[in-house]
């Protein structure tokens, strides 16, 4: 039995009550008299996240997030699915069963993400149908191929039909989509969107009946802007270990209230709203629901005092009180099949003394990019970067053994001398490398090729490497260890001249071909809005 002030998410009222719990389920909620500290809330639900972006396996992720009041997450495992296919999804599901945190998953709708890149697997309509039959799968994952939806690509439409037949919702992904194209996207039955950046963009989607997921992650921070119009869910999407040390849904709730969202409405956005939408049995302190309950100090700070899952106390005052069960399934290893890579393949050749080129421009705390143009020198027939003007080289190298390499230029990293490389490169997760010269880039690539994947920064006389042995995406290490290693890595990159707060996460999105405007895949430079490859050289 629990006693305290409860927030009723149905009415918005707060009152003292006693909660009778049997076999992990709430049986009775009875109003009482009394003076209690804090407020009992339903457990927090992160309704859209990618566990892989935390660099942790599901069991490690649970250890990091439960003390912050998170009792359930809905995870789209399309990161590991693009590397390992169904084997990767099975690993995520099995590893999640080792901890109290309630993991629900979506069936990845875009593996590979687009036809313009190389991934490590292919999940077709038949696989989607089989996944949607599983109890752990609660929706069709974000439909990133919005051009395919709009053009009614048969394979895309068949996946949507499969979700409808299974009576499971379809998550959306519609960055900057507007007007008739947005109407065509919504008309197919896609119900949510987490990609809105601007208030006007979100408002248009709300008017068409979409449910808005307000995202506040490590790289994309949209909460302050979208708080102007509100939404249905608060989500993290992609969050790094260093940020998870500070908080998870509790921190997002704190920001939501700070930015003007009503306290009770903010709580609904992480409890009853996602529970109703995804047909979960949690989300409220009410009879017939599991006793997933969080005690917080107030509805401003959201400092988590206690966390209960199925009536069991699993965290107190920021410390976990549970142990991960067993050794878990053997994790899938990273595929790094890069052989006989020659430095000449990372070069862009041209004639003359100068070339005007397209450049991918990145922005702090956003994953959208723009296209800029710059004039670069040519030496011995090779277009040169200009680190002094913050114009660096970028390459995406197919890591699945097909031999494809795409090359371009990028602006915004600020590195004076050296290179960054990663096998975390959304969403196909090929090897991506940014650098001031081909030599530094080759050094960084070789470190990852030998280690099996991870993140690495290479400077003139030193390098720092964070290993990610699970599919080249994740580690079994704890959030504290990974946060420390990530902080050392980011500090090292800052000493190299970068002012980006999350340089590796920013780099990881350079290869995401479903977010405007200019991107790079293993097959070349890609204009997302025009849905076509473009030449890096303009003239």
The three-state DSSP-derived secondary structure of 393-429 is EEEEECCECCCCEEEEEEECCCCCCCEEEECCCCCCC
Does residue 354 lie in a domain region? yes
Q: Do 216 and 68 reside in the same domain of the chain?
A: yes
Task: Give dist(CA 398, CA 432) in Å, integer.
Answer: 9
- For 276, the domain range is 43-281
Q: What is the mean pLDDT of the chain?
A: 95
Q: Do 256 and 374 reside in the same domain of the chain?
A: no
Which residues does 148 contact at the CB level (< 8 Å), separation at least 6? 155, 156
Does residue 64 lie in a domain region? yes
CATH number of residue 145's parent domain: 3.20.20.140
Per-residue b/e over 412-426, b at no fewer than 16 CB within 10 Å?
A: bbbbeebbbbbbbbb
Does residue 498 lie in a domain region? yes
Q: Do 380 and 259 reside in the same domain of the chain?
A: no
Q: Do 97 and 219 reside in the same domain of the chain?
A: yes
Task: Give dist(CA 92, CA 86) in Å, integer.
Answer: 10
Torsion, Cα 152 155 159 165, to 10 degrees, reads: 80
Q: Do 374 and 504 reside in the same domain of the chain?
A: yes
What does the block give as tokens for 334? 């990273």
Does residue 312 lie in a domain region? no
pLDDT at 327: 76
Count the residues in the chain: 539
Task: Give dist(CA 425, CA 238) in Å, integer.
Answer: 13
Q: Do 183 and 68 reside in the same domain of the chain?
A: yes
Does residue 314 lie in a domain region? no
Q: Do 355 and 277 reside in the same domain of the chain?
A: no
Does residue 327 lie in a domain region? no
Q: Do 123 and 259 reside in the same domain of the chain?
A: yes
Q: Do 399 and 477 reside in the same domain of the chain?
A: yes
Q: Do 242 and 363 reside in the same domain of the chain?
A: no
Boundary-marking domain end, from 281, 298, 323: 281
pTM for the model stands at 0.92
Residues of the chain with pLDDT under 70: 328-329, 331, 334
Does residue 34 lie in a domain region? no
Task: Give dist(CA 6, CA 295) in Å, integer.
Answer: 9
pLDDT at 515: 87
pLDDT at 447: 96
Q: Do 274 and 347 reside in the same domain of the chain?
A: no
Boundary-marking domain end, from 238, 256, 281: 281
Q: Do 257 and 374 reside in the same domain of the chain?
A: no
Does residue 328 lie in a domain region? no
Number of domains composing the chain? 2
Boundary-marking domain end, from 250, 281, 312: 281
pLDDT at 339: 81
Task: Give dist(CA 399, CA 350) in Å, integer.
Answer: 27
């Amino acid at each position: 039995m629990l006693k305290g002030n409860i927030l009723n998410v149905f009415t918005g009222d707060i009152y003292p009550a006693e909660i009778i719990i049997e076999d992990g389920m709430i049986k009775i909620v009875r109003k009482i008299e009394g003076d209690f500290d804090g407020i009992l809330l339903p457990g927090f639900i992160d309704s859209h996240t990618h566990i892989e972006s935390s660099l942790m396996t599901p069991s490690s992720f649970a250890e990091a997030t439960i003390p912050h009041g998170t009792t359930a997450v809905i995870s789209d495992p399309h990161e590991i699915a693009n590397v390992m296919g169904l084997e990767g999804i099975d690993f995520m599901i099995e590893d999640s069963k080792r901890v109290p945190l309630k993991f629900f998953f979506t069936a990845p709708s875009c593996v590979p993400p687009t036809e313009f890149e190389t991934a490590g697997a292919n999940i077709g309509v038949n696989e989607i149908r089989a996944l949607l039959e599983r109890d752990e799968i609660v929706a069709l994952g974000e439909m990133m191929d919005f051009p395919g939806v709009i053009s009614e690509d048969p394979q895309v439409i068949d996946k949507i039909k499969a979700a409808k037949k299974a009576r499971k919702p379809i998550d959306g992904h519609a960055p900057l989509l507007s007007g008739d194209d947005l109407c065509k996207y919504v008309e197919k039955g896609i119900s949510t969107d987490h990609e809105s950046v601007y208030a006007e963009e979100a408002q248009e989607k709300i008017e068409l009946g979409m449910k808005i997921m307000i995202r506040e992650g490590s790289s994309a921070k949209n909460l302050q802007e979208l708080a102007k119009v509100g939404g249905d869910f608060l989500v993290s999407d992609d969050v790094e270990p260093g940020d998870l040390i500070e908080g998870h849904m509790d921190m997002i709730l704190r920001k939501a209230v700070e930015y003007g969202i009503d306290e009770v409405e903010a709580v609904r956005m992480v409890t009853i709203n996602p529970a109703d939408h995804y047909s979960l049995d949690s989300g409220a302190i009410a009879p017939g629901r599991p006793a997933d309950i969080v005690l917080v100090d107030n509805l401003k700070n959201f400092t988590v005092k206690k966390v209960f899952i199925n009536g069991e106390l699993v965290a107190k005052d920021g410390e976990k009180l549970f142990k991960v069960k067993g050794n878990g399934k053997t994790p899938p290893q990273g595929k790094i099949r890069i052989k006989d890579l020659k430095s000449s393949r990372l070069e862009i050749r041209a004639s003359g003394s100068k070339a005007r080129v397209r450049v991918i421009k990145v922005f702090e705390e956003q994953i959208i990019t723009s296209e800029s143009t710059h004039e670069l020198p040519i030496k011995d027939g090779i277009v040169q970067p200009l680190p002094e003007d913050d114009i660096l080289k970028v390459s995406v190298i197919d890591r699945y053994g097909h031999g494809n390499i795409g090359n371009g230029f990028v602006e915004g990293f600020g590195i004076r001398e050296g290179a960054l490389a990663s096998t975390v490169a959304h969403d196909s997760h090929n090897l991506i490398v940014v650098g001031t010269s081909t030599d530094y880039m080759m050094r960084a690539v070789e470190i990852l090729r030998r280690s099996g994947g991870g993140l690495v920064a290479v400077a003139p006389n030193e390098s720092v490497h964070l290993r990610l042995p699970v599919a080249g995406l994740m580690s079994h290490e704890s959030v504290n260890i990974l946060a420390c290693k990530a902080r050392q890595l980011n500090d090292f990159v800052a000493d190299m001249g970068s002012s980006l707060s999350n340089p590796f996460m920013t780099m990881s999105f350079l290869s995401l071909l479903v977010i405007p405007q200019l991107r790079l895949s293993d097959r070349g430079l890609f204009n997302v809005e025009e849905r076509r490859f473009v030449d890096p050289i303009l003239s």
